[in-house]
Amino acid sequence: MSERIIVINPNSTTAVTADIDSALDALRVDTGIAFECLTLDEGPPGIETQSHVDSVVMPQCRLIESHDNRASAFVIACFSDPGLHAAREATRKPVLGIAECGLLTALTLGDRIGVIAILAGSIPRHARSMRALGIENQVAGELAVGLGVEELGDEDVTMGRMTEVGRRLVDDMGADVLVMGCAGMARYRGRLEETLDVPVIDPTQAAAGMAITASRLGYRTRTQRMIS
Amino acid sequence: MSERIIVINPNSTTAVTADIDSALDALRVDTGIAFECLTLDEGPPGIETQSHVDSVVMPQCRLIESHDNRASAFVIACFSDPGLHAAREATRKPVLGIAECGLLTALTLGDRIGVIAILAGSIPRHARSMRALGIENQVAGELAVGLGVEELGDEDVTMGRMTEVGRRLVDDMGADVLVMGCAGMARYRGRLEETLDVPVIDPTQAAAGMAITASRLGYRTRTQRMIS
Amino acid sequence: MSERIIVINPNSTTAVTADIDSALDALRVDTGIAFECLTLDEGPPGIETQSHVDSVVMPQCRLIESHDNRASAFVIACFSDPGLHAAREATRKPVLGIAECGLLTALTLGDRIGVIAILAGSIPRHARSMRALGIENQVAGELAVGLGVEELGDEDVTMGRMTEVGRRLVDDMGADVLVMGCAGMARYRGRLEETLDVPVIDPTQAAAGMAITASRLGYRTRTQRMIS
Amino acid sequence: MSERIIVINPNSTTAVTADIDSALDALRVDTGIAFECLTLDEGPPGIETQSHVDSVVMPQCRLIESHDNRASAFVIACFSDPGLHAAREATRKPVLGIAECGLLTALTLGDRIGVIAILAGSIPRHARSMRALGIENQVAGELAVGLGVEELGDEDVTMGRMTEVGRRLVDDMGADVLVMGCAGMARYRGRLEETLDVPVIDPTQAAAGMAITASRLGYRTRTQRMIS
Amino acid sequence: MSERIIVINPNSTTAVTADIDSALDALRVDTGIAFECLTLDEGPPGIETQSHVDSVVMPQCRLIESHDNRASAFVIACFSDPGLHAAREATRKPVLGIAECGLLTALTLGDRIGVIAILAGSIPRHARSMRALGIENQVAGELAVGLGVEELGDEDVTMGRMTEVGRRLVDDMGADVLVMGCAGMARYRGRLEETLDVPVIDPTQAAAGMAITASRLGYRTRTQRMIS
Amino acid sequence: MSERIIVINPNSTTAVTADIDSALDALRVDTGIAFECLTLDEGPPGIETQSHVDSVVMPQCRLIESHDNRASAFVIACFSDPGLHAAREATRKPVLGIAECGLLTALTLGDRIGVIAILAGSIPRHARSMRALGIENQVAGELAVGLGVEELGDEDVTMGRMTEVGRRLVDDMGADVLVMGCAGMARYRGRLEETLDVPVIDPTQAAAGMAITASRLGYRTRTQRMIS
Query: What's residue B149's pLDDT?
Result: 66
User: Nearest by CB to C109, which of B216, B218, B221?
Assistant: B221
Q: Is pLDDT above 90 for F60? A: yes
In tens, the pLDDT along C25-69 reads 999 876 788 999 999 999 999 998 999 999 999 999 999 999 999
Please say whether the beta carbons of F56 and E57 come within 8 A.
no
Please say whether the beta carbons of D100 and D133 come within 8 A.
yes
Cβ of A123 within 8 Å of Cβ of C176? The answer is no
Q: Is pLDDT above 90 for E161? A: yes
| Separation CA C108–CA A39 (nearest Å) | 35
Residues of D in contact with B176 (CB under 8 A): 124
Q: How many CA atoms lie within 13 A of C58 on its CB side?
A: 11
Q: Is pLDDT above 80 for E222? A: no
Q: Which chains touch E (3 or more CB pairs under 8 A)?
A: A, B, D, F
| Separation CA B220–CA B208 (nearest Å) | 17
Residues of F in contact with C131 (CB under 8 A): 137
Q: Is pLDDT above 50 for D23? A: yes
Query: What's residue D2's pLDDT?
Result: 66
The single-letter DSSP state of residue F78 is S
Residues of C in contact with F137 (CB under 8 A): 131, 136-137
Cβ of F127 within 8 Å of Cβ of A112? The answer is yes
| Separation CA F202–CA F170 (nearest Å) | 17
The predicted model gives C100-107 an average pLDDT of: 96
Q: Can you tell me whether residue A25 is helix, strand or coil? A: helix
The single-letter DSSP state of residue E180 is E
Residues of E in contact with F132 (CB under 8 A): 128-129, 131-132
D39's CB contacts (< 8 A; 6+ apart) are: D9, D11, D12, D13, D14, D16, D17
| Separation CA A161–CA A148 (nearest Å) | 12
Listed range (D185-189, E101-105, E181-185) with the worst mean pLDDT: E181-185
**Do E and B touch (≥3 CB pairs < 8 Å)?**
yes
Residues of F in contact with D101 (CB under 8 A): 108
Domains of chain B and any CATH numbers:
3-97+205-227 (3.40.50.12500), 100-202 (3.40.50.12500)
Kindly identify which residue of chain C lies nearest to residue B139, measuring between CA atoms. C134
Cβ of B54 within 8 Å of Cβ of A53? The answer is no
A173's CB contacts (< 8 A; 6+ apart) are: A114, A140, A141
Kindly identify which residue of chain C lies nearest to residue F175, measuring between CA atoms. C124
Distance from CA of A24 to the nearest CA of C (A): 34
User: Nearest by CB to B50, which of A50, A86, A124?
Assistant: A86
| pLDDT band at C224; cut points 50, 70, 90 | very low
Chain A residues with CB within 8 Å of chain C CB: 123-124, 127-128, 136-137
Residues of C in contact with B218 (CB under 8 A): 190
ipTM of this predicted complex? 0.93
User: Nearest by CB to C176, which of A124, A136, A137?
Assistant: A124
Q: Is pLDDT above 60 for C97? A: yes
**Which residue in E50, E115, E122, E123 has the most chain D C-beta atoms within 10 A of its own C-beta, making it the best mutation to test that interface?**
E123
Widest pairwise Cα distance in chain E:
51
In tens, the pLDDT along E175-190 reads 999 999 988 788 899 9
The predicted model gives D134-161 an average pLDDT of: 87
Query: What's residue B153's pLDDT?
Result: 77
In tens, the pLDDT along A174-217 reads 899 999 998 878 889 999 999 999 999 999 999 999 999 999 99
Q: Which chains touch F (3 or more CB pairs under 8 A)?
A: A, C, D, E
- The pLDDT > 90 percentage for chain B reads 73
- The separation between CA A224 and the C-alpha centre of its own chain, rounded to angstroms, equals 23
Mean per-residue pLDDT over chain B, rounded = 91
Residues of F in contact with A176 (CB under 8 A): 124
**Which residue in B74, B81, B104, B212 has the most chain C C-beta atoms within 10 A of its own C-beta, making it the best mutation to test that interface?**
B104
pTM: 0.93
| pLDDT band at A152; cut points 50, 70, 90 | confident
Cβ of B128 within 8 Å of Cβ of E111? The answer is yes
In tens, the pLDDT along A62-101 reads 999 999 999 999 999 999 999 999 999 999 999 999 999 9
Residue with the larger pLDDT of the pair B16 and B226:
B16
User: Nearest by CB to A217, which of E32, E205, E212?
Assistant: E205
Residues of F in contact with C123 (CB under 8 A): 174
Helices E14-23 and E203-217 meet at what angle, rounded to 10? 70
Render the burial of B167-201: b for 16+ CB within 10 Å, e for the rest.
Answer: eebbeeebbbbbbbbbbbbbebbeebbeebebbbb
Query: What's residue C128's pLDDT?
Result: 86
Mean per-residue pLDDT over chain E, rounded = 91
| pLDDT band at E6; cut points 50, 70, 90 | very high
Query: What's residue B228's pLDDT?
Result: 34
φ and ψ of C208, to 5 deg: -65, -40
Cβ of D127 within 8 Å of Cβ of B111? The answer is yes
Q: Can you tell me whether residue B133 is helix, strand or coil? A: helix
| Dihedral of alpha carbons F8, F10, F16, F20, sign | negative
Query: What's residue F221's pLDDT?
Result: 80
In tens, the pLDDT along C163-194 reads 999 999 999 898 999 999 988 788 899 999 99
| Separation CA D104–CA B145 (nearest Å) | 40
